[in-house]
Homo-oligomer: A and B are copies of this chain.
Amino acid sequence: MRVVTRALCIAGGLAVASSPFAAEGMWTLDNLPYTELEKNYNFKPTPEWIQKSMRSAVRLAGGCSGSFVSAEGLVLTNHHCVISCVEDLSSKEQDLINKGFLADTRSEEKQCPGMEINRLEKTEDVTARMQKALAGLNGKAFADAKKAEQSRIEKECVGDSGDKRRCDIVELYGGGQYHVYQYSRYQDVRLVFSPEYAAGFFGGDPDNFNFPRYNLDMSLVRVYEHGKPIANSNWFPINPKGAKENELVMTLGHPGTTQRLLTMAELETQRDLVLPFRLMFASEYRGLLLQYSREGEEQARIAQTELTMVENGLKARTGMFQALLSPSVMQQKRNDENAFRNWVNADTARKQQYGDPWQTISNTQTAWRNLYLDYVLIEMGMGSLSQQITWARTLVRGATERDKPDAERLREYSQAALPNVQAGLLAEVPLYPEFEQLKLSWSLSKLRERLGVDNPVVKAILGKESPEAIAKNIVSNSKLGDAAVRKQLWEGGFAAVKQSNDPALVLARKLDEQGRKLREQFDHQIEPVQKAAIEKLSKARFAFKGTSVYPDATFSLRLSHGVIRGWDERGTPVRPFTDFAGLFARATDFDPFKLADNWVENEKKLDKKTRFNQVSTNDIVGGNSGSPLINAKGELVGLIFDGNIQSLGGSYFYDESVNRAVSVHSAAISEALKEVYKAKNLTRELQLSK
């Protein structure tokens, strides 16, 4: 599955793609590849088509895509994009994850704690303004000026619309361009439909990122405002007929991060440090969660979402790592870089204009490598995995930052960002002490192991105590599990937080103190130098390659085009469609290949030839999960939920011969809602008929 992992997005690099292959590219809506669309598919998107598509697509702020599919605020996204909500709404008595959830009438719909949906309303290029504010600056001055100017732009954009509007600065081309994206912000989102885990994630981790596939990885949520469903005039009607083989299909979604034009120095940091560390970390964590899940049904339920996310990330990063270990991929990257460098160096004026950004980036990579483990374990929190510590750190840092003028705050606590921060902090969600203790004691032990017992920072954080003892104390004695306590502390601000002896806050203060030092090193010493070099590289590349380029993914709205098409797997053709018959043939008596009861019971009513999942050549990446797959008429013909295993190198390069996006076919969506789940009212609202 293709959910974006925000934690990955650090130190993302440049920039601009080389001349695209046929279906390559994640295009911003203000710079669509019109020539290609017309030439390859005879398709000319009108301004109205673009505008309608933009307003029909949505973003789940937590890291997914989705789209409106009715005039009454119904949003279609993936099962795996709402699984955290389903988990929060579940309890020991009511296991909605495994049993599924259906609200066929409005009154049964349940609010998802802390979920936020954004719809893009307009974008504006503010590159000139940002560049002017940053001209000639470096180090802390650069970082301060950048924060301040971003804050001003966002504030102006939000205006007096308060929490209803969200404005984000999007750095395209790695900082070569700055745009401000204005969204409508919806914070009352209610769960409408989520299938059983066995249907939404049939085949589990073994089948994940594979095809042929048989997943009903869909869900429906509804956007509310003032206690009522919103009325929206832009939405994609579902067309159960789907698209034909080789027909043009497009995704409108929010790909999270690509790293297609990292320099060799950056790629080597990924290959030699970042990916090995994360793979080993996640592998061990996975083993821990697997064994915890074996301890009982309730433990299995509690750990299910976390385990799925960990396994998904592990598989995705394994694919990325394989790509970087491939001699041919690295050689191609090296050749591309050399050609580009030679072009710059071949001309004195160019040399003078662009300098040697590759060398600069190589230097910042050395600094970043030295900082990396401390940074991710302490500042990014991988060494203190715990819901209570996450809240505590938000309270501690939030208190300090909110006391500053908006322009001086860390970006994640800017006025524009606060509503989302607050919603996350104050959402009422269940807390499982045993599970929290497991995560915290283990991750603190990783902190100690990776940085070393005798490391002064580790000593400052752990003292002479053991990870176990610290975790036990926090889980037993912290009061932060109570949302009212968090609210009191959040509203009490700096004084309240400082006074509290809550053990989670005590640890959070230590982590915050050490984390801030690391953050400053990154923000003042590494990022400004890196950004300046990337800006030069980006300009040079425009000059070298021309204007028909797309920026790396930034979790902002993109269109990708492609066609429904299978591929050739080492000599064996893989057909682009699967059907319901294939699902029943693949089923066994054992998880993760066991059918959900609803499917067993209704098997006879189903048309077994119904198309289930399909592949297309669209260029997508994590974050695209839940993206609508539409045809030229703007009808929804599929629901993106994954890529094939070959697409995992897509972080670094796109290979049209084997890279495939995987979606739920619109026919399966329709047939399942009607025949398996008997969702009469929803079927009517979605205008689905035989």
Contacts and interface: CB of A to CB of B under 8 A. Distances in A.
5 A-B pairs with the lowest CB-CB distances in the bound complex, closest first: A287-B287, A466-B590, A283-B283, A291-B291, A287-B288
Contacts of A276: 276, 279, 321, 325
Contacts of A580: none
Contacts of A292: 291
Given A276-B321, A288-B288, A438-B291, A453 B207 contact: yes
A213 B172 CA distance: 51
Contact of A280 (B279, B464, B590): B279
A450 B614 CA distance: 24
B290 A442 contact: yes
A466 B588 contact: yes
A295 interface: yes
Interface of A: 203, 205-207, 210, 268, 271-272, 276, 279-281, 283-292, 294-295, 318, 321, 325, 327, 438, 442, 448-449, 452-453, 464-466, 468-469, 588-591, 593
A203 B449 CA distance: 11
Nearest to A318: B280
A325 B287 contact: no
Q: How many copies does the complex hold?
A: 2
A291 B283 contact: no
Nearest to A470: B590
Nearest to A590: B466
Contacts of A438: 291, 294
B448 A590 contact: no
**Most chain B CB inside 10 Å of its own CB: which residue of A438, A449, A590:** A590
Nearest to A315: B449
Given A279-B276, A295-B295, A448 B206 contact: yes
Contacts of A291: 287-292, 438
17 contacts: A206-B448, A271-B325, A276-B279, A276-B321, A280-B318, A283-B283, A283-B284, A284-B286, A285-B287, A287-B288, A287-B289, A287-B290, A288-B290, A291-B292, A295-B295, A464-B589, A466-B593
Contacts of A590: 465-466, 468-469
A501 B327 CA distance: 48
Contacts of A465: 588, 590
A206 B464 contact: no
A292 B327 CA distance: 40
B588 A464 contact: yes
Nearest to A206: B453
Nearest to A295: B295
A77 B452 CA distance: 28
